[in-house]
Copies of this chain bind each other. A is one copy, B any other.
Amino acid sequence: MTARVILGRIMSSLGGKPRGTRRAERLVGLLRTLISERGEATGAVLARRAVALYRGLDAEGRAHLFDKLAHEFSPDPVAVLQAAVAYHSRPDAGSLAVLQRVTEPPRQEVFRRMNMAPGGTATLLELRRELLAAQAASPQLAAVDHDLAHLLQSWFNRGFLELRRIDWNTPASILEKLITYEAVHRIHGFPDLKRRLERDRRCLAFFHPALPDEPLIFVEVALLDEVPHEVAPILEMESAVADPRKARCAVFYSITSCQAGLKGVSFGNFLIKQVAEDLHAELPGIKVFATLSPVPGLRHWVGKAAPALAANADSDLAARRPELERLAASYLTQAWSEGASLDPVARFHLGNGARLERINWMADPSPRGIAQSFGIMVNYVYDLGDVERNHEEYVKRHRVVSSTVVDKLAREAALLVESGARAPISSP
């Protein structure tokens, strides 16, 4: 019985279903064949068909497919229980192999098979993007996402990634993607990007061999004389280009994850440290590796921790500087949620082992900067020798390593936080 015949039978069994659903049913039938023994000899052909069918699905079809993946391609609870009992009574290689086989959801093999087609990896990233979107309305899809995320985490292992420098000799098609993806400080067209790629700047990205034209994550670095207090001079398109060999400080001023389909698969830690190591080797004059980072959750937190202050801050922002700097220090060092910093950017850098170095007033006076954090930005410092210790302090003792200046500000903030505020605001 050929694949064509199988498809025909599936189709006739469908009766009067909407077109998107019928296409999804055909795909589901194909996926069943793909992971059966029969799929072995013609795996490549079937995988291509599956990818083509998926790409042609409409929203309805995708919803149907995701639902099937969630329910039909799951482990059988009875088989799992039997295998677990056997492993418990005799935990050897044989019983473990059985346990692993029945515990692994068949949809993992579905995804591995689809990946074999040309363009398969890109299609799976697209599928996950759409799966995450659908998950909001259908929480049970979390199980499907868990499996796909697990596979992607394994496939996008750091050992398989390629670190590439992006500069003005990079193909325009890739530069265009950077302009589109940039999430921190908007890039206003090619001339703006060109300034960010001059020799006193660096831009580096991770790529995966299966997606050679798709940056996964990229970081923008400014090579400067000192740790900057504000972002505007870095972004200034008309600024003079400096000699990188005279720089003393590498500032990570923007870091962007590009692929929605890789949500939760984290590369940033590796990227920052690799770039720091490489810059250290290339330009020995650089002694400090720091960030200039936003504090996206500050205003929201102040609104809860010190509502009166928050309500009046904007009308007289300059006068509120002392209180707001102290609150920022307090927020970043003392506001926790589920064992990690409440602020997402702080969570990233402190989790990587960075030190909180300085609170910068009016570092980002853009509307967005004011709206998020009263214009405050902060510097985190990566001291490669201290990263492990800082990380342990953060993870094990829930203590943020910070400079004495920040420590002092945080202590002075105690009086500002209104009574009872701390507990509730640290929940997510």
Contact = CB atoms under 8 A, between A and B. Distances in A.
Interface of A: 1-3, 37-38, 40-45, 74-75, 77-78, 80-81, 83-85, 87-88, 91-94, 96-97, 99-100, 103-105, 112, 115-118, 120-121, 139-143, 146, 150-151, 154-155, 157-160, 162, 168-173, 175-176, 189-190, 194, 209-210, 213, 269-270, 273-274, 351-353, 387-392, 395-396
Contact of A112 (B2, B94, B157, B162): B157
A80 B87 contact: yes
Contacts of A270: 43-44, 116
A172 B139 CA distance: 44
Contacts of A210: 159-160
Contacts of A395: 37-38, 40
Contact of A80 (B45, B99, B154, B396): B99
Contacts of A74: 91, 96
A199 to B, nearest CB: 13
Given A84-B80, A96-B143, A97-B146, A352 B41 contact: yes
Contacts of A151: 154
A85 B85 CA distance: 9
Contacts of A194: 172, 176
A168 B168 contact: no
A309 B104 CA distance: 51
Given A1-B392, A42-B387, A96 B105 contact: yes
Nearest to A70: B93
A262 to B, nearest CB: 16
A254 B10 CA distance: 40
Nearest to A339: B37
Interface of A is mostly: helix
The copy count of this chain in the complex is: 4
A368 B370 CA distance: 48
Given A44-B270, A388-B2, A88 B81 contact: yes
Contact of A92 (B38, B143, B273, B351): B143
A88 B74 CA distance: 12
Contacts of A142: 93-94, 97
15 contacts: A3-B388, A38-B395, A40-B269, A42-B388, A74-B91, A75-B87, A80-B99, A81-B87, A96-B143, A115-B159, A116-B158, A159-B210, A171-B172, A172-B172, A209-B209
A216 B211 CA distance: 21
Contacts of A44: 158, 270, 273-274
A91 B75 CA distance: 9
A352 B45 CA distance: 13
